[in-house]
Chains A and B, each alone.
Chain A
């Protein structure tokens, strides 16, 4: 079964993926932070039984996993694939996850809130994600009654989620815009519109891979449609700006760009050891090169999917054993080498 991220294009829109997340609480129970382990387990059991017919309703195959019983490495790997957030990766209290086979749809039980519904999609499809989430939300609501009041809307553990309890986000690849001088300025401007922009990989200002996630800050007093429009608008603006910077750089320094892309391909295709930073940097260059038509491979390979595959927990899952730092670098090199297709021969002729 193909997972959604394997379908992420390397296209010039630079928009990698879209995500919608809805938080819901069952009004019968206290919120997870105030729920004893026993009570939490019994609630999870009820929810699991209630959502048992989800596959029939949704038409997708789902697997259920008990987060409490799951090994840490598995949780980390799921976190790297964006099925669990950082707090859930480290969580030791009862929890569960329903996850569709393609990993587009997931329902996390007893995390910050009783239910965290997430729909992911490749490319720019927030609307599609929300439509799907909306349907699933109605389905869940047939089974349980939500904690809701007319003033505050859907009630959540954190006051930052209350109201629509909707977080919409889009991941954009910004390799050129992010090195420009006005980038930090641009990011703080985004805050003024009510959106947050943060790096996806790497910590703080030490971004690796040039992927940035735009999401809405506010959830109360704004409608779902307004939230989606806002995030789509800001993401669209960033994507447009990136396009402009890239076009200008191609006109001015085509040779420099070509050199960068081919060198990156060469290293990725032949290196015997790749650190995370190296791999992410070269994959980012490669993605930009493919998007701008500077380089073409024989077959399609999603660069974003490679970026996820080389994260430490996923690599260790693939190798089926724990790996030290150097072993990880070796495994990372091998993984990319094996998956990266050859270059289209026509392209090489053109460059001679």
Chain B
């Protein structure tokens, strides 16, 4: 089939338009298609990352202000190590970095190491954020509201880290409850 616009080249793109329930079909060559204005879908005909642009176009993310953050700019909130710094020094700044950069480092770690997940010894005493509920449950350790919240927050983080969403939800609710209580207390004062 010949392109309906230039009538010279072979048409290799079939464009179906539905406007107000009326369906029209166009047969175009890629050159003419590129020149036509298809709005956000024109990205399909660009050489660069057609699929990515199409997806962000579809999701309405193509405006530069909401462009997704570049990997180099990801910063660990605890120790302020940026991903760029991690790459140049190949050194983490704190335990949280593993969580923050998790998705970015998976492949790199796989290359360096045998496997991307641990199979060896586990600590007998688990990190406080994973055991605090049992300690606090005994009532053996009296904590102030603020301390309880920060410990729960760490517990929540740990739960998310190991993808234990049930535990995470419990922590989240307890944090909310504690914060709510605190607000009430503050109001009464």
Q: Contact residues of A with B, CB < 8 Å?
A: 25, 27, 29-31, 33-34, 134, 137-138, 141-142, 145-160, 162-164, 166, 194, 218-224
Contacts and interface: CB of A to CB of B under 8 A. Distances in A.
Contact of A153 (B93, B94, B118, B161): B118
Contacts of B89: 33
B113 interface: yes
B20 to A, nearest CB: 53
Interface of A is mostly: loop
Given A34-B94, A223-B119, 10 more contacts: A29-B94, A30-B78, A31-B79, A33-B93, A150-B161, A155-B95, A156-B92, A159-B90, A222-B114, A222-B115
Contact of B123 (A145, A157, A220, A222): A145
Interface string B122-139: 111111110100000000
Contacts of A149: 95, 98-99, 158, 161-162
A199 to B, nearest CB: 23
22 contacts: A27-B129, A29-B94, A34-B80, A137-B121, A145-B125, A146-B123, A151-B162, A152-B109, A153-B121, A158-B91, A160-B90, A162-B109, A163-B120, A164-B120, A164-B121, A218-B112, A218-B114, A220-B112, A220-B113, A220-B115, A221-B119, A223-B121
**B81, B91, B120, B162 pick with most chain A CB within 10 angstroms:** B120
B128 A27 contact: yes
Nearest to A221: B115
A148 B116 CA distance: 14
B136 to A, nearest CB: 15
B23 interface: no
A31 B92 contact: yes
**B78, B112, B123 pick with most chain A CB within 10 angstroms:** B123
B105 interface: yes
B161 A151 contact: yes
Contact of B126 (A134, A145, A153, A154): A145
A166 B126 contact: no
A164 B79 CA distance: 23
**CB-based closest 4 A-B pairs:** A221-B115, A153-B118, A147-B95, A221-B114
Nearest to A134: B121
A30 B79 contact: yes
Contacts, number: 132
B117 interface: yes
B67 interface: no
B108 interface: yes
A103 B131 CA distance: 35
B124 A218 contact: no
B93 A142 contact: no
Nearest to A194: B114
Contacts of B131: 145
A227 B145 CA distance: 45
B173 to A, nearest CB: 23
Interface in B131-164: 131, 158, 161-162
Nearest to B113: A220
A223 B117 CA distance: 11
Contact of A148 (B113, B117, B127): B127
Interface string B27-58: 00000000000000000000000000000000
Contacts of B99: 149
A188 to B, nearest CB: 18
Contacts of B79: 30-31, 34
Contacts of B126: 145, 148
B92 to A, nearest CB: 6
**A25, A33, A142, A159 pick with most chain B CB within 10 angstroms:** A159
Contacts of B117: 151-152, 220-221
A26 to B, nearest CB: 9
A33 to B, nearest CB: 6
Contacts of A156: 92
B93 A31 contact: yes
Given A159-B105, A222-B120, A147 B127 contact: yes
A148 B127 CA distance: 7
Contact of A27 (B93, B115, B116, B127): B127
Nearest to A29: B94
Contacts of B102: 151
Contacts of A158: 90-92
